[in-house]
Amino acid sequence: MDLVGIQYKLEEKIGRKVDLIEKRSIENSHNWIRRKNILETAIIIYESGQILSA
């Protein structure tokens, strides 16, 4: 499933608007304040076929 498909499914499940972005896009961001904040507060909820607890 692509990023748009995942976004659609999440919005459908939680009934709210969802924004998704790839981690490397954040890591390459020129806005260091936003980059630092996002990377420090990000919570992985799904990775490599495994469900992880937050």
SS3 50: strand
Q: Say how far apart CA 49 and CA 12 lie, in whole Å.
A: 21
Q: Note the pTM of the prediction, 2 decimals.
A: 0.58
pLDDT in tens, the chain (54 residues): 788 998 999 999 999 998 888 889 999 999 999 999 999 998 877 666 655 444
User: Which residues, other chains included, contact 32 with Cβ-Cβ below 8 Å and sequence gap of 6+?
Assistant: none
Tokens of 4: 């748009």
Residue with tokens 């981690």: 23
